[in-house]
Amino acid sequence: MARSTDKRPEEIRYMLNLKGMTFASVDRKCELASGTARTASRIPSIEGEWAIAYVLKMPASEIWPSRYDSVTGNRLKPQPAANYTDFPRLGHGQKGEAA
């Protein structure tokens, strides 16, 4: 699955932190709606992808290779369905189940 070569949301957050930024500060800097950059780290969102790439000064196709054509570098349209499956998260705080 090509998804495994994409940077994980945690890696993106780490790279942003090295530059003194957060997902929220990327949204503010690029005048995006709150949560756009955070969402783009998990599922395709062209505005959020480009904002993160701009702040990190690297091509979006290098951060999310599964979302871009490997030959031309153009963004895939439509996105593969696999790009819309979220990464697994820890089950903290789920109602009705012990943590």
pLDDT at position 99: 52
The CATH code that applies to domain 9-72 is: 1.10.260.40
pLDDT at position 86: 65
**Which residues, other chains included, contact 5 with Cβ-Cβ below 8 Å and sequence gap of 6+?**
65, 66
Helix (H, G, I), strand (E, B) or coil at 72: coil
Per-residue pLDDT of the chain (99 residues; tens, 9 = 90+): 444 588 999 999 999 999 999 999 999 999 999 999 999 999 899 999 999 999 999 999 999 998 888 888 888 888 777 777 766 666 665 566 555
pLDDT at position 2: 45
